[in-house]
Structure 1
Amino acid sequence: MMWDAVTEAMGRLYPRAQPWHVSYPAEGFTLQAASAYPADGHWHFVTYGLGERWGFELTFRLARGGEQQPPQWPFVVLNQVAGLAQAAAEPFEEGQWTDLGAPITGFPHTDGPPTGLTVLILTADPQLGDRFLQMVGVTAAEAAAGDVDSDDPLLVTDPGRA
């Protein structure tokens, strides 16, 4: 998937939104770039750079308060998971998960809050489809039970819930 396809897909969801863009230096980073789109009640993050090799990009939906700018820690996590994808022998698939062994927010090493969410489960982004794997933050107990909050159709991650 090329950059234009990602931009077009996100543009269909958020035609009037002004996304925040982050580019990564070539050395030491897996991703080329990522964006955060202000959505209703959440930030919708998306990567650029995995699609050309693996055919998918990562997304992440984070509960949003009144802040005007997205927090920076999801960009760090997106690059971290992209690095895991890059190192994997096979492409990531829906239903796979990774236990970070620490808060998904990177607390206390980032601007992220403390949280009990330590695992990221991959699922098809509910609005973009299976070419976009959405990371969903859960606790280790929820991951072990295979429990993803199904009451929220968009599967927005809220670090404050655990």
Structure 2
Amino acid sequence: MSDTEDVEQAGFDAIADSAQKLYPGQEGLFYRTVIPYALGGNDPLDGVEVWKSERGIPHWHYITYGFSELYEKESNNEAESGYGFELTFRLKRGPEEEPPAWPVNLLQNLARYVFSTGNVFGPGHHINCNGPIALETDTKITALGFRRDPEMGELDTRNGHLRFLQAVGITSDEMDALMCWNGEKFLAALEKNLPLCITDLARSSQMENAAFQKTWQTGMEEDGSSTSYLYIDKVEMALEEERAYLCLGVGHGRTLSNMLRARVGKGRDLYLYGAEVAIQFLPGDAAATVEDDLLILSLPEHVLAELSMVLQRHTGVYPLSSFPLTIELVPTEITDQNGKVLEVIE
């Protein structure tokens, strides 16, 4: 191989060498993209390599190639390679001889999100997959949290620095809990019960574990939340005659209540976004104003306490006694990916 060829795939080789050092004597299975993204293909990643690991519990270890610059240096950022990371995913291994292909599709979908929006992942981040992470699978794992892969770590290449982020499968209530605490600390606590945070599609939520829930509750109360925003697709707001109105599904009320206590209760602001709505909650003297279609609610401690309590109630209309704000909680429908209603929370 010539020096020019070596430079042109320096990033690719650096990842491959790092994986080979972790799994000496083993040959990884490489799922290569058929039509490159640069030539009009649908898959942004050049490929995903899978390794067989016995650490923690037997599992498949998926490693991406393509978030970083694999070949020639193209970006102006000399310090980082491409987006500055590659993703990994660890899946509990069953009796199968070959690794399942669906995680490859999952990782490509994450790449489509990053490449189309420019939003990058980092330690402590999360994303809602809006359904089972493995399609047509009876699993409670419907979201992902991100942490530093403890074995792959970070890497310096000729194209810049990158770190390996592990995508961890979590349940919807675990995602809500992660948002209300520090994401990295939440996943670190999760690892104490789930070795290497290996994704197990058959597992139940750790929020059903009393000891884990106590750890989360204590952490949330001590640290507050590192997440500054909450998105709810169906939320409405208005400010009429100096009184604010907020309408949302009762199923989201408890999460918003926890987020408010973990953000505003710790002296930080919280943004609530809907499809056409933006609300900022912040600590301070009681006030409700609108600036550029943003409803700003300033909440002293006694108002925050009442609002947090109201948000945990059932369907109904609740005017606050301590603040010119009325909360309307409406039934929340839980649906599958086809829109079929599975449950109604009232």
Q: Same fold by TM (over 0.5)?
A: yes
2:100 to 56, 62, 71: 71
Runs of 4+ in 1 over 6 A off after TM superposition: none
Give the superposition deviation at 1:84: 1.4
Amino acid aligned to 2:30: H
Alpha-carbon distance in structure 1 between the residues aligned to 2:165 and 2:117: 15
Amino acid aligned to 2:62: F
Alpha-carbon distance in structure 2 between the residues aligned to 1:144 and 1:23: 35
- The answer to whether the aligner puts 1:18 opposite 2:12 as a matched pair is no
The correspondence of residues 76-155 of structure 1 with structure 2, limited to 5 A, is 76-105=105-134, 107-108=135-136, 113-130=137-154, 131-146=163-178, 147-148=186-187, 149-151=190-192, 152-155=194-197
Q: TM-score, normalised by structure 1?
A: 0.90
Does the 8 A contact of 1:47 with 1:59 survive in 2? yes
2:51 to 16, 37, 41: 37
Alpha-carbon distance in structure 2 between the residues aligned to 1:134 and 1:85: 15
Q: TM-score, normalised by structure 2?
A: 0.44
- 5+ residue gaps, structure 2: 1-9, 70-81, 155-162, 179-185, 205-346
Alpha-carbon distance in structure 2 between the residues aligned to 1:67 and 1:18: 17
Alpha-carbon distance in structure 2 between the residues aligned to 1:13 and 1:3: 16
Match of 2:15 in 1: 6
Give the superposition deviation at 1:153: 4.3
Match of 2:222 in 1: none
Give the superposition deviation at 1:96: 1.0
Alpha-carbon distance in structure 2 between the residues aligned to 1:56 and 1:153: 23
Alpha-carbon distance in structure 2 between the residues aligned to 1:91 and 1:82: 9
Sequence identity (%): 34
- 5+ residue gaps, structure 1: none
Alpha-carbon distance in structure 2 between the residues aligned to 1:103 and 1:90: 22
Does the 8 A contact of 1:18 with 1:38 survive in 2? no
Please give the per-residue CA displacement for 1:51-83, whole angstroms capped at 9, x wherever unaligned: 112121100000002221000100000100111
Alpha-carbon distance in structure 2 between the residues aligned to 1:8 and 1:63: 24
Task: Looking at secondary structure, tell me which structure has more strand per residue.
Answer: 2
Amino acid aligned to 1:150: E
Give the aligned CA root-mean-square deviation in angstroms.
1.5
Match of 2:86 in 1: 57
Determine which structure has more spread, i.e. the larger CA radius of gyration.
2
Deviates more, 1:80-89 or 1:135-144: 80-89
Instruction: Give the number of aligned pairs.
Output: 157
Alpha-carbon distance in structure 1 between the residues aligned to 2:169 and 2:66: 22
Q: Which has the higher contact order (CA 8 A, sep 6+)?
A: 1
